[in-house]
Amino acid sequence: MAYTVLARKYRPQSFEDLVGQEHVARTLGNAINADRVAHAFLFTGVRGVGKTTTARLLAKALNCEKGPTPTPCNECGPCLDITAGIDVDVQEIDGASNNSVEDVRRLQESLPYRPQRDRYKIVIVDEVHMLSTGAFNAFLKTLEEPPDHVKFIFATTEGHKVPVTIRSRCQQYDFRLIPHRLIAERVRTILDAESLSADDEAISVVAREAAGSMRDALTLLDQLVAISDDRITSDTVAASLGIAAREALYDVVRAVLEGDGAGVVGALDGLASKSVDMPHFARQLLLLMRDLVVLKLGAGDPAEWVPEEREAAEALIGAIDILGLQRAFRAMSRVMGEMAHSPNPKLMLEMGLVRVATRPPLQSVSELLARLDALQGSSGATGGSVGGPTGRPGSRRPRKPNPKAKAQPKPATAPEATSEPDAKPEPEAKPEPEAKPQDPDQPIMPATKHSGGFHTSSGEVLTPIRRAALQEWEELVGALEQQQPALAAVLEHGIPKAVGPDRIVLSFKDGSFYGRQAESPESIAAIVQIAEQRLGSRPKIEIRFDAQGEAVTKTVAAVAAQRKEAEVEAKRKEALNHPLVREAVDVFPESAGKLKVHIEAD
């Protein structure tokens, strides 16, 4: 008799045997008991999770002589024939080779006829996403209103490729990946039934490599049974599958966490000599690092670990803090990204892990803040000396002398004020703005509405004539914003040529959208009304369109943007000159000139 592979020999024959898909089995069983079975089903999920098996179980449940029942007897004629795949009323169609309109038409021609023996005529279409667009369209009417004795069951690994018109006519069931623990239990049960032996670690590796697919696990098991002599071991599994043994994984992770770069190189050379797949090994490393983080947090225990492996993991992470494990995980994930774009994955993995192993030790933020607080307290106690709290000359950046201080004359009436270092000079009267020298190290501060001038980011100062018109126009626009904010936003983009009680002249670029909005009768009336309130007269409004255009700095919107830019720059310099930031630069001198300041919007 021909050999039957384990995946077919131990295919589930009832809903109770369906592993990892209890939500599907329970829903279908309840529907059968309540006599509310739909006429069309769509089973979606990755390969080897039980879609076709569930379709056959549903066919047996509906056509069993003792049914419809969620527990078919597996003894009657329909059950035995469906299990063997020879039932004349249950058609299994491959969507890849029967994907044309003609194939669907031939199927539809046979549907009106009653089943020859069974209760229902059931059509199972595997890989239904392979049907052509025309074939899907030909299915629509029949799928929506089939004969009472017909049931459709579609199965696919790519549910997103099935048209929504088909999905809306079916009850959709999503099959999940089977958990590692359930696969391992099923493998152990089959080994016992076959009178075969295997150690726990070998079974764990088989379940892990199956990646949620029961069929993949049983296919691997078939291969291992053929290779092994009397007992399946983890070394046999690793050698036959071309993967690294768990001991090798722990050796590499231990070398990385302990900073042993030479150990990393030696371990990877040994794996390369055994022809281990390096990308697969990198994925194993990343998964192991994730499990170590979870174990360190106490958030769970990976179910695939055997007791010996758990003990080794606990010993490995005993002296490593959680931040170090998280840092190693992130670094390894970056190494995997580098491997994906490299023609030599082994080289990138080796050098990447050496880089992770030889990185400098990690210091917690709380420790760094404590050092900064200590430095700040020491500098305050010593009066803020230049040498700093550690007494190192030049540990702080020297302060630039203030040129204004040199220009101030010493008060003749109080010469004793200069003899005491702690004495504070009497406040002096502030000079007029036009006579105040500008410190080149200080940012250009934004001008107020009536300060007499506006500075642009490039240092440009508007002319007195244009400045006066711009100031008057800004005041009018500001008053108008309280009444008609939308119109004020339009007028902000106009260049005021003249603003007075007799006339107001605004200039826009040729074809400007804002200009067309401003010259409308409603806008003119609103400008006249606000000018009457502010200026006491009703000026003539003139809207011009200048084909050449003028500098964008002559508009209220541009001035507001420049003002905002100056404010942000002032805040940035203020943050960089903060005492704590200066102390931090003293602690980390390599960060000088590289600090970035983020100003949040108000």
8-state DSSP, 17: G
| Pair of tokens at residue 252 | 């590499």
**Is residue 437 assigned to a domain?**
no
**Is residue 197 assigned to a domain?**
yes
8-state DSSP, 455: B
Q: CA 291 to CA 322: how far, in whole Å?
A: 12
Please give the average per-residue pLDDT across 505-529, as a whole number.
83
Angle 282-322-361 from CA coordinates, rounded to 5°: 80
Cβ atoms of residues 476 and 515 within 8 Å:
no
- At residue 437, does pLDDT exceed 50? no
How many CB atoms sit inside 10 A of residue 264's CB? Answer: 27
pLDDT digits (tens, 9 = 90+) for 46-90: 888 999 999 999 999 999 998 789 999 988 999 999 998 889 999
Which is nearest to 42 in space by CA: 50, 33, 34, 51? 51
Instruction: Map residue 121 onto helix, strand or coil.
Output: strand
Among the candidates 292, 323, 357, a domain finishes at 357
Cβ partners under 8 Å of residue 43, min gap 6? 24, 51, 54, 55, 153, 154, 155, 156, 173, 175
| Pair of tokens at residue 506 | 């605004």
Among the candidates 297, 325, 357, a domain finishes at 357
What is the band of 464 on the pLDDT scale with cuts at 50, 70, 90?
very low
- Residues forming beta bridges with residue 461, ordered by sequence position: 455
Q: CA 542 to CA 506: how far, in whole Å?
A: 6
**Of residues 418 and 139, more confidently modeled:** 139
pLDDT digits (tens, 9 = 90+) for 5-22: 888 888 999 898 888 899
**Is residue 166 assigned to a domain?**
yes
How many CB atoms sit inside 10 A of residue 499's CB? Answer: 21
Least confident of 34-43, 285-294, 557-566: 557-566
- Residues forming beta bridges with residue 173, ordered by sequence position: 43
In terms of residue numbers, what domain contains 186? Answer: 180-241
Q: In terms of domains, do 192 and 314 share one?
A: no
Please give the average per-residue pLDDT across 110-138, as a whole number.
91
- At residue 430, does pLDDT exceed 60? no
**Is residue 581 assigned to a domain?**
no
Q: CA 112 to CA 100: how far, in whole Å?
A: 20
Give me the amino acid identity at 27: T
For all residues of the chain together, what is the average pLDDT? 78
Please give the average per-residue pLDDT across 20-30, as a whole number.
91
pLDDT digits (tens, 9 = 90+) for 450-460: 334 444 444 44
Which is nearest to 49 in space by CA: 83, 85, 22? 22
How many CB atoms sit inside 10 A of residue 437's CB? Answer: 9
**Is residue 408 assigned to a domain?**
no
Q: In terms of domains, do 26 and 65 share one?
A: yes
Q: CA 394 to CA 213: how far, in whole Å?
A: 66
Q: In terms of domains, do 164 and 51 share one?
A: yes
pLDDT at 450: 38
**Residues present in the chain in total:** 602
3-state secondary structure string across 391-434: CCCCCCCCCCCCHHHHHCCCCCCCHHHHCCCCCCCCCCCCCCHH
How many CB atoms sit inside 10 A of residue 587's CB? Answer: 12
What DSSP element (H or E) covers 498? strand 495-499
Pairing of strands 150-156, 40-44: parallel
- Residues forming beta bridges with residue 503, ordered by sequence position: 540
Q: In terms of domains, do 130 and 35 share one?
A: yes
Q: In terms of domains, do 273 and 316 share one?
A: yes
Cβ partners under 8 Å of residue 50, min gap 6? 12, 18, 19, 20, 21, 24, 175, 214
Cβ atoms of residues 104 and 97 within 8 Å:
no
Q: What is the CATH number of the domain that holds 511?
A: 3.30.300.180
Q: What is the CATH number of the domain that holds 138?
A: 3.40.50.300
Q: CA 407 to CA 433: how far, in whole Å?
A: 16
Among the candidates 140, 174, 208, a domain finishes at 174
Please give the average per-residue pLDDT across 12-40, as a whole number.
91
pLDDT at 166: 92
- At residue 365, does pLDDT exceed 80? no
- Residue carrying the six token digits 């000088």: 592
Alpha carbon of residue 440 to chain centroid: 44
- At residue 420, does pLDDT exceed 50? no
Instruction: Map residue 370 onto helix, strand or coil.
Output: helix
pLDDT digits (tens, 9 = 90+) for 343-360: 888 888 888 888 888 887
Q: In terms of domains, do 80 and 129 share one?
A: yes
**Is residue 417 assigned to a domain?**
no
Q: CA 496 to CA 472: how far, in whole Å?
A: 9
Q: CA 462 to CA 441: how far, in whole Å?
A: 22
pLDDT digits (tens, 9 = 90+) for 393-407: 343 344 444 444 444
3-state secondary structure string across 347-367: HHHHHHHHHHHCCCCCCCHHH
pLDDT digits (tens, 9 = 90+) for 325-335: 888 888 888 88
Counted domains in the chain: 4
**Is residue 111 assigned to a domain?**
yes
Q: Please tell me the pTM assigned to this model.
A: 0.54
Q: In terms of domains, do 19 and 141 share one?
A: yes
- Residue carrying the six token digits 């003899």: 419
**Dihedral sign, Cα of residue 583, residue 587, residue 589, residue 593:** negative
Please give the average per-residue pLDDT across 224-229, as a whole number.
81
**Is residue 153 assigned to a domain?**
yes
What is the band of 363 on the pLDDT scale with cuts at 50, 70, 90?
low
Share of the chain above pLDDT 90, in %: 14
Q: What is the CATH number of the domain that holds 195?
A: 1.10.8.60
Instruction: Map residue 249 onto helix, strand or coil.
Output: helix
Q: In terms of domains, do 168 and 188 share one?
A: no
| Pair of tokens at residue 338 | 């580098």
Which is nearest to 87 in space by CA: 95, 79, 97, 96? 79
Q: In terms of domains, do 224 and 262 share one?
A: no
Q: CA 87 to CA 81: how far, in whole Å?
A: 5
What is the band of 380 on the pLDDT scale with cuts at 50, 70, 90?
low
What is the band of 175 on the pLDDT scale with cuts at 50, 70, 90?
very high
| Pair of tokens at residue 353 | 């892990």
pLDDT digits (tens, 9 = 90+) for 184-211: 889 999 988 888 888 888 888 888 888 8
Q: In terms of domains, do 23 and 166 share one?
A: yes
Cβ atoms of residues 374 and 407 within 8 Å:
no
| Pair of tokens at residue 133 | 């667009």
The contacts found for 72-77 with CB under 8 angstroms, 24 or more apart, are 72/14, 74/13, 74/14, 77/117
Please give the average per-residue pLDDT across 523-544, as a whole number.
84
Which is nearest to 152 in space by CA: 74, 231, 95, 200? 95
Q: In terms of domains, do 273 and 151 share one?
A: no
**Of residues 459 and 570, more confidently modeled:** 570
Q: In terms of domains, do 162 and 265 share one?
A: no
What DSSP element (H or E) covers 499? strand 495-499
How many CB atoms sit inside 10 A of residue 290's CB? Answer: 15
Q: What is the CATH number of the domain that holds 273?
A: 1.20.272.10
Q: CA 392 to CA 122: how far, in whole Å?
A: 88
